[in-house]
Amino acid sequence: MKKLTGKCLCGEVAYEIEGELGPIVNCHCSMCRRWHGAAFRTRCTVKSKNFKWVKGKKILSEYQSSEFVIQTFCSICGSSLICMYKDKSDYIGLPIGGLDQDPGNRPVANIFVGSKAAWYEITDDLPQYDEEPPENFGL
């Protein structure tokens, strides 16, 4: 079984994933842009049962960014970590940038490009969806 590890910027929070990641997407929604301070967030979903905190769970902070989404971050360095879905508790959202290893798979689409940063031009050949794609890509 595939095992991946990840951590925050200061290294005080760490996690591991055993099992496959869901499809990776580049999310251009305004919330992801603000949360990551970048043109988009590259993310995937992971089955909750395949994810565990191995260090620093007590220093996590949470922010409820919408009715169904809770964002977690390190209270020391501010690194964005996972998001939890109140309406889909079997899954978590994972930003790929925190992983220590190459996850093996690559982004499959750009989503929420209808609200992408005006100053950013998407230059890859991935499919683009103005909102969440009909296939939902396991999100």
> Residue 136's pLDDT is what?
62
Given a contact cutoff of 8 angstroms between Cβ atoms, the answer to whether 89 and 69 are in contact is no
pLDDT for 87-126, tens place per residue?
A: 888 999 999 999 999 999 999 999 999 999 999 999 999 9
Tell me what the mean pLDDT of segment 64-68 comes to. Answer: 91
**pLDDT, average across residues 121-135:** 89
Q: Which tokens is 135 given?
A: 């296939």
- Averaged pLDDT for residues 6-30: 95
CB 114 within 8 A of CB 131: yes
User: Which token pair is 57?
Assistant: 């769970």
State pTM to two decimals.
Answer: 0.90
Q: Domains in the chain and their CATH numbers?
A: 3-138 (2.170.150.70)
What pLDDT digit, counting tens, does each position of 21-61 carry?
A: 999 999 999 999 998 899 999 999 999 999 999 999 999 99
E strand residue ranges, 1-139:
3-7, 14-18, 24-27, 41-47, 51-55, 60-64, 69-74, 80-85, 91-95, 107-111
Gyration radius (Cα) of the chain, Å: 15
Tell whether the model's pLDDT for residue 127 goes beyond 80.
yes
The DSSP bridge pattern shows strands 3-7 and 60-64 to be unpaired
